[in-house]
Amino acid sequence: MKKIAIIGAGAAGLTAAFELSKDPATKVVVYEASDSVGGMCKSLRLWDCIVDLGPHRFFSYDTRVNKLWLEVVGQDYKMVNRLTRIYYNKKFFLYPIAPFDALTKVGCWTAAQCVLAYLKEKIIPTKQDGSFETWVTRRFGKKLYQMFFKTYSEKLWGVSCRNLDDDFAAQRIKNLSLMAVILNAFKIGKTSHKTLVDEFAYPVGGTGSMYQRMADAVLQRGGTIYYNHSVQGVVVRNNVAQGVLLNDNKTVEPYDEVISTMSLTDALNSMQEVPAAIKAKAEKLCYRNTVMVYLKVEGTDLFSDNWLYVHSPELHLGRITNFRNWVPELYGENDYTILALEYWCYNEDKLWQYSNEEYICLATNELEQTGLLKRCQILAGFVYKIPKSYPTYHKDYRNDLQPIEQYLRGIKNCHFIGRYGAFKYNNQDHSILMGWMLAQNLLGGKNYDLWSVNTDYDNYQEGSLITKTGLISK
């Protein structure tokens, strides 16, 4: 029997385990550092409600991903009508931007500046220097960039947009343009960009319920999942993966294949044979942390958004999720609302060292400043910290990452997938696709290039959408 170790029970790792465990001749062993599955896509039981780690909507045009999602979730999902807004300059703007909504809120003069700046880019485009700032400015104009891209992006990444690589824009807003937004607002043509979709599928048990079902299936098929088992890294000898090294320095081997979804930098640091030049490259890669502050608020009708983006520079707050506006199964008969407020920081930032009481106090004060509370009382608070949640795309980061990729390709029987493992700013569907592709490579003799996922992801061999009646062709 072929034995495969999987480090991490997040979206990528569990998808790989789920697919691999379908083969009776394959023994899957999953090592998970926490006491539950799902990684950043897990759901929590909080105050007799279900919450996610932020707004985890699922949406894909890839038929392979959609079929797998429906295979696991079955009929236990609902379509959620999306409403998201941007909080900027003490006003709430519809997102995606609606021209008439924006015009009434920014005024004719600011709107004229936006149009003129956009037209200027058509005549004299901003010279590209590989930064997020020049990429977005050329696409939307300087004024719109400053209003609706700059502040939020700098909050998220903790660096100036001049020092943020344009790969971030290429991966998240590649085909999005001002014209596409305008045409979408007037319902002209088909919506093709994921940012513009106004409906998405959501499991009634929370996002994490999908991964719990995957885990249950793995166990039923004879696989093993070890919870509360932190892994230091991969055991590699002579460029061949042999096993895993646990945090207590115990080595578990042999394994025929090792799949790592742990931090790419941690995995590299754990290996004994890595050249000094590669480790030096890895030291330049960094991850951003997330702090989730959940507030239990009296009342059930605070505001209608699923989530909001907070662009106002005077607030540390980056995003607000209202779990009352997803599906009723999350809150049941409870007569209160749970809001999740997100903050981002690095290990060395003072914010990462706050006590839970300080986080709750900060979140409460900043929420009150937005006016969203409507004099409702906050009944309780809860803090959940997520280290290394976002790989940071500093400018020219590819110069550091590409040599690492080439080196890791040379290690036999070892595979690096997921947001952490491949150092890619994956959406949920990207990580699912990575796990699925890897399983096809190992079981079906395919040769999918996992490192290419989420680089040219808009080109599909076969397009489809999940609707309330199931899968339909795109």
Q: Taking the model in full, what pTM does it have?
A: 0.92
Is the per-residue pLDDT at 194 higher than 70? no
In percent, how much of the chain has pLDDT > 70? 92
| SS3 assignment, position 264 | helix
- pLDDT-wise least confident of 34-38, 58-62, 67-71: 58-62
Is the per-residue pLDDT at 188 higher than 80? no
- pLDDT at res. 444: 86
339 in Cβ contact with 320 (< 8 Å): yes
- pLDDT at res. 185: 52
- pLDDT at res. 17: 98
38 in Cβ contact with 212 (< 8 Å): yes
Between the alpha carbon of residue 243 and those of residues 166, 187, 233, 248, 422, the distances in Å are 37, 54, 9, 15, 19
- pLDDT at res. 460: 46
Q: What is the distance, to the nearest Å, from the Cα of residue 311 to the centroid of all Cα atoms in its chain?
A: 19
| 393-421 pLDDT tens trace | 999 999 999 999 999 999 999 999 999 99
- pLDDT-wise least confident of 78-82, 98-102, 121-125, 325-329: 98-102
- pLDDT at res. 418: 95
Is the per-residue pLDDT at 325 higher than 60? yes
Between the alpha carbon of residue 415 and those of residues 16, 259, 270, the distances in Å are 11, 5, 15
- pLDDT at res. 377: 95
C-alpha R_g of the chain? 22
Average pLDDT over residues 266-270: 92
- pLDDT at res. 256: 97
- pLDDT at res. 457: 45
- pLDDT at res. 167: 87
Question: Which region, left, alpha or beta, applies to residue 273 given φ > 0 means left and ψ of -120 to 50 means alpha?
Answer: alpha
Average pLDDT over residues 279-301: 96
102 versus 376: which is more confidently predicted?
Answer: 376
- pLDDT-wise least confident of 144-148, 326-330, 368-372: 144-148
**pLDDT band, residue 190 (cuts 50/70/90):** low
- pLDDT at res. 7: 98
Enter the tokens of residue 40.
């950043």
Q: What ranges do the domains of the chain cover? A: 2-36+209-285+396-449, 97-189, 287-391
Average pLDDT over residues 259-264: 96
In percent, how much of the chain has pLDDT > 90? 79
Homologous superfamily of the 2-36+209-285+396-449 domain (CATH): FAD/NAD(P)-binding domain (3.50.50.60)
- pLDDT at res. 260: 97
Helices (H), 124-185: 132-140, 142-145, 151-157, 167-172, 178-185
- pLDDT at res. 179: 57
Fold topology of 287-391: Polyamine Oxidase; Chain A, domain 2 (3.90.660)
- pLDDT at res. 189: 53
| 458-472 pLDDT tens trace | 544 458 889 998 889
Is the per-residue pLDDT at 63 higher than 50? yes
Instruction: Please provide the distance, in angstroms rounded to a whole number, between the alpha carbons at the two ends of the chain.
Output: 40
- pLDDT-wise least confident of 163-172, 329-338, 346-355: 163-172
107 versus 457: which is more confidently predicted?
Answer: 107
Average pLDDT over residues 2-30: 97
- pLDDT at res. 198: 81
For residues 277 and 282, give the distance between their C-alpha atoms in angstroms, rounded to a whole number: 9
E-assigned strand segments in 42-110:
43-46, 49-52, 77-81, 84-88, 91-95
Within 8 A by CB and 6+ apart from 185, the residues are 96, 97, 98, 99, 100
- pLDDT-wise least confident of 9-13, 95-99, 201-205: 95-99
308 versus 426: which is more confidently predicted?
Answer: 308
DSSP states of 380-449 as a string?
A: EEEEEEEEEEEE--BTTTHHHHHHHHHHHHTSBTEEE-HHHHTT----HHHHHHHHHHHHHHHHH-----
Average pLDDT over residues 341-357: 97
Strand order in the sheet with 287-298: 91-95, 84-88, 307-310, 319-322, 336-345, 287-298, 378-391
For residues 344 and 382, give the distance between their C-alpha atoms in angstroms, rounded to a whole number: 16
- pLDDT at res. 197: 67
**pLDDT band, residue 107 (cuts 50/70/90):** confident
